[in-house]
Amino acid sequence: MKLLQRTLATYIDLPGGERGVRDLLDDIGIEVKRINPSEQGNVITVELLANRGDHACYTGVATEISGRTGDVVSTPDFAKLEVGTSPWPLELQSDLCLLYTATLLERSGEFGPLPDELLASIEATGVHSVGPEVDATNLSNLEFGQPTHAFDADTIKGAVCIRAAVAGETCLPLFSESRAGVPEGALVIADDEKILAVAGVIGCEESKTTASTKRLLLESATFDPVAVRKTARAMGINTDSSSRFERGADPSLPLVGAGRVTLLLEQFSGWKRVGTTGVVGAWTDPERVIALDIPAAANFIVHPLTAEEAKLRLERYGFTVSSPYPTWKEEGWATPPALEDRSRESLRSIVLVRVPAGRLWDVEHTADLYEELAKSIGYNNTPNTLPPVDMGKLPSDSELAKAKAEQVLVGAGFYEVFTDGFYSRAAREALGFHEEHPLWNHVETQNALDRGYSLLKNNCLAQAMEGLATNIRVRNERVRMFEWTRTFHPDASASNGVCSEHKVLWALASEPGRKDDWTDKRSSLTWILVGIVEELAAELNLPLTVGPADSGDPLFSALHPGRQASIRLHGERVGILGEVHPAVVANHKLKRTRPVYIELDGDVLRQGPRPDYSEPPQHHPSVRNLAFSMPTGVRARDIAEHMATAGPAWLSNVSIVDQFAHEEDGVALRSVTYALTYANDASELSADEINAASEYLIKVIHEVFGQQGVKLR
């Protein structure tokens, strides 16, 4: 909105200088975008709040300034219209029109324009003078924030009807050469033959005033803001009228706005009223009353507020304020129902505040009055304090586990990212899924405006690859990222009747390199992620293991068949790890990169038990090393697990500590050394008992694995 500084100064005293005006407006919440000089003086461009229709005029801005400075607001004169028999038949058929007034004027004197001083305010907004009838409506809108519209009365056929548009109706908007469709249900002003105006949005060419107009029917009304906003958006039309109505117009102003237009036309342009003004509409002021506890308000604002000061400040904004209880009863105020059960003593600090009609759209709660008082006092005039806080509760085991997992990932050079809960069908196709694939079915959005939001994601690899592609396109080829998120899987038996949700931690790493072929086995990223799993297991006190790939994993086909593994907890699969399938990489138009992906069940990671403290043993454990020679086809881990199971209860750990390859009689073998740790907390174990246990384990391994060529070195 644009304001002429010298015009605003006729409504209320302004501080001297451009800087003083800018600082004052900014401080009261009316943001100044710029101040430009013009032939009429400084033009102030301000940004208005979406919920403050009362700001969109000189009177509204002046009232806001008065709330801070206390200076009196001067408003333009307007004619006092007499309400009576309508000069034109009116029919109101919709409750979306709160109040509608109609005033008839006839040309009776010499035609003349509005004074240049008045037109300057209109021209400062970028609107050129059209004629006194239109100029007067524009000026009233700019002065009071009350849109009005003038019809050529001789173009109206029959009664003026305020009704909902029917399907297929069209109109010819002002300044348009072609007819436009009107949304079904939109509020319109119509006669027996045509639409005269789209209510609150725009008038129509077929009923506009011209230089030859002899009779003028002046409309001034208040319409439902939501209805105006929907219609304006649907038709793609934005006018000064719609921008004011959709923010919430003052239902008490239609007669004031019409009176201002009438005064201007009668005083300067040779028009004269005919009869009385007609009014239809059931709106009455609900006289909303809000109870304001003065000590509570003072505590909230951190200002030594009194009832007298609160009354003074709120009345500047147009509120009506009672004295404190019990005096309000003597002033004619009824006790609000919410306070009827309160003791007399607890009411003595309370005043009642009646909300003016123009603020019914945005003032509803006590907190809204706190805001008005704070603006009046000035946010810069209240102390900067932090609210008192108590000690928060200790973090839960889940929160601690999440924090530890993040430390592991961040320590390895990964950074956290955030992705959408949706992706496109193309993202699914890029993973190579087919209709029989377990991840083909998704929860789908109906009539998605953006194709990128067609599917609710049921895996994270799709967005991980899109994120990698985005980074590589901007030449950030070394990527390590992770995310805590959730996936959504169609499930009619779920509590919401649509899908089940799974919490997930995923990570992806990629480094620049040459284009991969399937025989190249050089890659360190896979082992880095294996190490991350092992570190997570240690930090979270979870026995996670990395083992052979599981073809039953839904992501199995999207990863390299020979370079992936499953992640297990107590034998159950809880995740997957491996290089992304070359075909998937190619589908994302990536070259010279071999990304590695890991996905873990988020709930499992957050369920790691908090380890209980136990006093360390006073005596060192005993360690024995056993080295077995075995063919390359035998898994060293199987032997370790078998010894751990067959050993005595005081065998606390079996780990692989060394291995080397060798040949024997032309057969490729490897030697694997195991460290057997025997706990000796009570220092009661003898060397003979430990040696006997080791000999027993050697015997067991020979019996179980001897036929496969395993033997003690």
Per-residue pLDDT of 269-279, as tens digits, reads 999 999 999 99
List the single range of 11-15, 204-208, 441-445, 564-568 with lowest mean pLDDT. 441-445
Q: Which of 420 and 218 is assigned the larger pLDDT?
A: 218
pLDDT at 53: 86
Sorted by where each begins, the domain ranges of the chain are 2-69, 90-280, 289-381, 397-605, 622-712
pLDDT at 107: 92
* Mean pLDDT to the nearest integer, 685-707: 92
pLDDT at 611: 55
pLDDT at 11: 94
User: Does the pLDDT value for residue 518 go beyond 50?
Assistant: no
The percentage of the chain sitting over the pLDDT mark of 90, rounded to a whole number, equals 66
pLDDT at 394: 82
Contact present, 101 and 277 (Cβ < 8 Å): yes
pLDDT at 286: 92
| 397-605: CATH, from 3.30.930.10, 3.30.70.260, 3.40.50.300, 2.60.40.10 | 3.30.930.10
Strand partners, 559: 580
Mean of per-residue pLDDT scores for the chain = 90
- Just give the CATH number of 2-69: 3.30.56.10
pLDDT at 516: 46
List the single range of 396-405, 449-458, 500-509 with lowest mean pLDDT. 449-458
Same CATH fold assignment for domains 90-280 and 622-712: no
pLDDT at 515: 47
User: Does the pLDDT value for residue 185 go beyond 50?
Assistant: yes
Contact present, 443 and 490 (Cβ < 8 Å): yes
User: Does the pLDDT value for residue 111 go beyond 90?
Assistant: no
Show the tokens assigned to 32.
């100044």
User: Does the pLDDT value for residue 268 go beyond 50?
Assistant: yes
* Mean pLDDT to the nearest integer, 517-526: 60
Closest CA to 237 of 190, 172, 193: 172
List the single range of 275-289, 291-305, 553-567, 670-684 with lowest mean pLDDT. 670-684
605 by Cβ neighbours in 10 Å (0-12 / 13-18 / 19+) ranks as buried
Architecture of the domain made up of 90-280: 3-Layer(bba) Sandwich (3.50)
> What residue type is assigned to position 713 of the chain?
R
pLDDT at 374: 94
Element (H, E) at 534: helix 525-540
Q: Which residue has the tokens 């928060």?
A: 392
Element (H, E) at 78: none
Query: Considering all CA atoms of the chain, what is the largest pairwise distance in Å, rounded to the nearest integer?
Result: 128
* Mean pLDDT to the nearest integer, 160-188: 94
User: Does the pLDDT value for residue 522 go beyond 60?
Assistant: no
pLDDT at 445: 83
375, 389, 392, 582 from 385: Cα distances, Å: 17, 12, 20, 58
Query: What SS3 class is residue 464?
Result: helix
Hey, what CATH topology would domain 289-381 get?
Phenylalanyl-tRNA Synthetase; Chain B, domain 1 (3.30.56)
Show the tokens assigned to 575.
């995740």
C-alpha–C-alpha distance, residues 584 and 686, integer Å: 59
User: Does the pLDDT value for residue 521 go beyond 60?
Assistant: no
User: Does the pLDDT value for residue 192 go beyond 90?
Assistant: yes
Q: Which residue has the tokens 């239809």?
A: 280
pLDDT at 235: 93
Element (H, E) at 171: strand 170-171
Residues 6+ positions from 49 with CB-CB distance below 8 Å: 29, 55
C-alpha–C-alpha distance, residues 665 and 671, integer Å: 15
Total residue length of the chain = 713
User: Does the pLDDT value for residue 127 go beyond 50?
Assistant: yes
User: Does the pLDDT value for residue 391 go beyond 80?
Assistant: no
Residues 6+ positions from 450 with CB-CB distance below 8 Å: none
Element (H, E) at 55: none
pLDDT at 607: 66
568 by Cβ neighbours in 10 Å (0-12 / 13-18 / 19+) ranks as middle
C-alpha–C-alpha distance, residues 499 and 369, integer Å: 44
pLDDT at 553: 92
**What's the pLDDT band for 609 if we cut at 50, 70, 90?**
low
Closest CA to 370 of 286, 288, 287, 303: 303
C-alpha–C-alpha distance, residues 106 and 214, integer Å: 6
pLDDT at 450: 64
Query: What SS3 class is residue 96?
Result: coil
Architecture of the domain made up of 622-712: 2-Layer Sandwich (3.30)
Show the tokens assigned to 611.
């380890």
Residue pLDDT, tens place only, 398-438: 888 889 999 999 999 999 999 988 998 888 899 999 888 99
* Mean pLDDT to the nearest integer, 117-121: 90
**What's the pLDDT band for 612 if we cut at 50, 70, 90?**
low
pLDDT at 365: 95
Contacts 24+ apart (CB under 8 A), 641-649: 642/700, 642/701, 642/704, 642/705, 643/674, 643/676, 643/697, 643/700, 643/701, 646/696, 646/697, 646/700, 647/676, 647/693, 647/697, 648/678, 648/693
- The interaxial angle of helices 307-316 and 366-377, nearest 10 deg, is 90
